[in-house]
Every structure is written in structure tokens, then in C-alpha cells.
């Protein structure tokens, strides 16, 4: 299995970075995982801003040479792991800008004249690991009605043909009693044991 980790946090002293390290540790101890690639969007200097003009058209994004290496990373990956914080009830703008540009028409999906387009990334799986300041139950479920999970799963991943989507959504992460060690261990064990 080939894996691609897309890490989206500007601080390498953050809890998200600890989740990245635990994910890598678990993957490196798993004989089912053949290749591990890490894309750190902030370290990479990825530009999340969409630019469209007479020379750069939206319908041609799937063949933009500046984005080719990112498309190739997605193609080569069997499992894509996203690690990011939840800010204002959603992933960082950096990650959303990446999705806007890379999951483009004629690369991630194509319009086939039906109500729904055809997803072109079938057979891949996704794991989302996210952290948030608020509590895991009250804030995402009762106040936001699980909007983060629903939008990522239904409006992004299912839309492009990825049906196997797992979430680790951890709350209370700025609280010293947030059970950080237990949550980090849960992620580590998951990646140490997965077979597909």
C-alpha cells in the first residue's frame, strides 16, 4: 500500500505535528505499507489562492504543469491521510485551497451528462485526523451538526469517487486534561495495524 500524508499546520511544535509523528511511526512499523510520502503544505509554500485569467482557465486546471506533481502524488497513493486543525468549524484555508486546485474537473471527477459527475479517484481511501479546541460532542455534533465531517466526506471525497473515509476528530485539545497521550496512541495503533 502506498500512502500520502497531507499535513496542514504552520507550527511544527503543534499537537497536529505530534499526530503526524505518531502516524509516521505507526506506518513505518506496518509491513503492509510500502511507500510513505509526506506533503507539508506550509513548508512546501503551497499557494492556496485560485487564479483564473485569460492564460489560466479553470477548465484547464487538470493539466496545469505547476500542479502536476501534486496530481501525481494523489494518483500514486492508495491511502491519503489528511492531518489538520479545525478552525472556525472547517479545515484551514491552505487545505481547502489545495483541494480546490488539485481535485479538479477531468482529474478527480468528470461531468458525464447526469445529475452527479463520475468520480475518478475510485479505489482510494482517506483518513482525516483533525484537532479542535472545543469539545468533541457538544461543538461538532450539536452546534455544527457534524458539518465538517459531512462536507469533507460527501462534498469532497464521495464526490470524487472515494467511498472509504475514516475520521479521527479530537476535541478539547487545548485543555491539559484533553487525553492527548491516549489520542496519539489511538492514531499510532491504527496505522500500525491497518492492512488496506
pLDDT tens per residue, the chain (196 residues)?
A: 999 999 999 999 999 999 999 999 999 999 999 999 999 999 999 999 988 888 888 888 899 999 999 999 999 999 999 999 998 888 999 999 999 999 999 999 998 877 888 999 999 999 999 998 766 655 555 555 577 888 899 999 999 999 999 999 887 667 666 578 899 999 999 999 999 8
pTM here is 0.92
Residue pair 15/172 in contact by the 8 Å Cβ criterion:
no
Pairwise CA distance, residues 130 & 168, whole Å: 6
Q: Whose grid coordinates read 497513493?
A: 77
Pairwise CA distance, residues 176 & 72, whole Å: 40
Pairwise CA distance, residues 165 & 145, whole Å: 18
Amino acid at each position: 500500500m502506498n500512502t500520502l500524508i497531507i499535513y496542514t499546520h504552520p507550527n511544527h511544535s503543534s499537537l497536529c505535528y505530534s499526530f503526524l509523528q505518531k502516524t509516521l511511526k505507526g506506518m513505518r512499523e506496518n509491513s503492509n505499507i510500502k511507500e510513505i510520502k509526506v506533503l507539508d503544505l506550509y513548508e512546501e509554500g503551497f499557494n492556496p489562492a485560485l487564479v483564473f485569467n485569460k492564460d489560466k482557465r479553470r477548465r484547464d486546471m487538470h493539466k496545469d504543469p505547476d500542479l502536476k506533481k501534486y496530481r501525481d502524488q494523489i494518483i500514486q497513493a492508495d491511502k491519503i491521510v489528511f492531518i489538520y486543525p479545525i478552525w472556525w468549524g472547517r479545515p484551514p484555508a491552505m487545505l481547502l485551497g489545495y483541494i480546490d486546485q488539485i481535485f479538479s474537473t477531468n482529474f478527480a471527477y468528470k461531468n458525464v451528462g447526469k445529475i452527479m459527475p463520475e468520480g475518478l479517484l475510485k479505489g482510494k481511501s482517506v483518513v482525516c485526523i483533525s484537532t479542535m479546541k472545543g469539545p468533541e460532542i457538544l461543538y461538532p455534533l450539536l452546534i455544527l451538526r457534524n458539518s465538517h465531517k459531512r462536507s469533507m466526506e460527501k462534498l469532497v471525497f464521495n464526490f470524487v469517487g472515494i467511498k472509504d473515509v475514516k475520521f479521527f476528530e479530537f476535541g478539547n485539545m487545548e485543555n491539559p486534561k484533553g487525553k492527548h497521550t491516549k489520542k496519539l496512541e489511538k492514531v499510532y495503533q491504527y496505522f500500525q495495524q491497518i492492512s488496506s
